[in-house]
Amino acid sequence: MKRFNLLVLLGLLILLSSCGESPPTEREDHFMGIAFCEVHGDELLEETVLPAPLTVEFEIEYQDAMEALFPNLGLAFAIDYPDQDSVVVEYCPACREANRLWLKEH
Ligand SMILES: [Zn+2]
């Protein structure tokens, strides 16, 4: 019984330590309070959008492309803003253009 508890504790410790190693989720660089796209270097613009219903799961390939090529699309999903009709998002115009081209090619 003691051994079982020890294993559970060990499992929890591994779980916690692997959480700490996850890469930072920061998607933009900040300079003097201004946010820039880390891919394109463009200043992020603000826009008010309606949170979209999340009806389809993004495919892994698209998710990877989004993170690497166009991380600042300024998407807002209703699931993240359940009580809001509109959300102010930051987006990079070059990211949106890259997203458009990527979708055209795939
Ligand atoms: Zn960008």
Domain ranges of the chain: 25-105
CA of 50 to the centre of ligand 1 (A): 21
User: For residue 93, what pLDDT is reported?
Assistant: 97
2-40 confidence digits (pLDDT tens):
555 545 544 544 444 444 444 444 555 677 778 999 999
CA of 89 to the centre of ligand 1 (A): 14
Q: Across the chain, which distance is largest between two alpha carbons, in Å?
A: 59
51-105 confidence digits (pLDDT tens):
988 766 778 899 899 999 999 999 998 888 989 999 999 999 999 999 999 999 9
CA of 63 to the centre of ligand 1 (A): 15
CA of 26 to the centre of ligand 1 (A): 14
Cβ atoms < 10 Å from Cβ of 39? 18
The answer to whether the CB of 66 falls within 8 A of the CB of 101 is no
CA of 74 to the centre of ligand 1 (A): 10
User: For residue 56, what pLDDT is reported?
Assistant: 64
